[in-house]
Amino acid sequence: MTRRSVLLRSLLFLSVLTASVWTAPTVQAAPETVTIAAANSLKDAFRKILPLFEAHNKDITVRVIYGPSQTLSKQIEEGAPIDVFLPSLVEEIDQLEKKGLVIQGTKRIYASTSLVLVAGPELPAPITSAQDLRTTLIRYIAIGDPKTSSVGKVAEQYLKYSKLDTQLKSQLVYGEHSRAVLDLVAKGEADLGIVYRTDAVSNKKIRILDEAPVDSHQPVHYGVAAVWTAKNISGAGDFINFLGRPQIQSLLQDHGFDRIAEPIGVAQRQEGR
């Protein structure tokens, strides 16, 4: 084959390649998925927040997995394909961070809430606060299982602080998570329950009777972070930042959350301590 024929073939190839580049139809990239693992107590608020996030980020689709915080944390440890973790206590993120399973610089505190005493539509005993339990008999009081839920651990702290843990020990019934506690109360299987305000505020079958003192339990700070199994780190960062927007903070308040003046990062929180 002569040099001239090689040159002609090369020119022909280049002309075909150029034509194909210019005439190729535009293909729109498929949205990337961000997978988040979120505590059950976020479900009501996220029904409104997630569509807003997707509307502001057309190239991202959110996949969400709800469950008890401790269960989700264990799944992340075992390698579940999660981008963002949102437990109901930031301490769950701290535990993963100690094991090197959180992407540095992504942890934030974006909201908080309080612990409340709740009752169903009909409460046979005249109870308006936890202190009434010292003198008023009830059948059962439901709390989260401390082995599977953060709200259970905090409820235990509150009962111990109130010196009611020994008195009520035989009357405690456990739900796997906050929603299970609410179901026990709403169905009349327990007279009272102890949950986060975020769990109770949207449930029309539940009445909030009393709020636990701030110093009666560890602060209930809602945290968020990207974790070691994240495949869409850019999308995870977009979602974490989105939670700090004023519009989203207002929506969270509507669902029983307390506003954080500014989302708190790792360095800020450590300085606060």
pLDDT of residue 125: 67
The two three-digit tokens of residue 54, written as one number = 């997707």
The two three-digit tokens of residue 89, written as one number = 């206590």
Q: How many domains does the chain have?
A: 2
Burial category of 20 from C-beta neighbours within 10 Å (exposed 0-12, middle 13-18, buried 19 and up): exposed
pLDDT digit string, tens, across residues 191-200? 999 999 998 9
Same domain, yes or no, for 181 and 262?
A: no
Same domain, yes or no, for 148 and 226?
A: no
Range with lowest mean pLDDT among 37-41, 146-150, 216-220: 146-150
pLDDT digit string, tens, across residues 99-134? 999 999 999 999 999 999 999 877 766 888 888 888
In a domain, 8, yes or no: no
Q: What is the mean pLDDT of residues 167-176?
A: 93
With a cut of 50, say whether residue 21 has pLDDT above it: no
With a cut of 70, say whether residue 270 has pLDDT above it: no
pLDDT digit string, tens, across residues 224-246? 999 999 999 999 999 999 999 99
In a domain, 16, yes or no: no
Residue 210 or 260, more confident: 210
With a cut of 60, say whether residue 94 has pLDDT above it: yes
Percent of the chain with pLDDT strictly greater than 70:
84
Contacts with 48 (C-beta within 8 Å, 6 or more apart), sequence order:
251
In a domain, 95, yes or no: yes
In a domain, 203, yes or no: yes
With a cut of 90, say whether residue 4 has pLDDT above it: no
Q: What is the mean pLDDT of residues 79-96?
A: 95
In a domain, 92, yes or no: yes
Same domain, yes or no, for 258 and 247?
A: yes
pLDDT digit string, tens, across residues 134-153? 888 888 999 999 988 889 99
Same domain, yes or no, for 247 and 190?
A: no
| Contact assessment for residue 37 and residue 30, using Cβ atoms and an 8 Å cutoff | no
Domain harbouring 137, CATH code: 3.40.190.10
CB crowding 109-143: b at 16 or more within 10 Å, else e: bbbbbbbbbbbbeebeeebeebeebeeeebebbbb
pLDDT of residue 68: 86
pLDDT of residue 118: 94
Q: What is the mean pLDDT of the chain?
A: 84
pLDDT of residue 88: 87
Geometric angle at alpha carbon 172, from 142 and 72, rounded to 5°: 55
Same domain, yes or no, for 160 and 194?
A: yes
85: nearest Cα among 222, 227, 244: 227
pLDDT of residue 30: 60
Q: What is the mean pLDDT of residues 33-46?
A: 93
In terms of average pLDDT, the best of 3-7, 23-27, 204-208 is 204-208
The domain containing residue 98 runs over which residues? Answer: 32-112+220-268
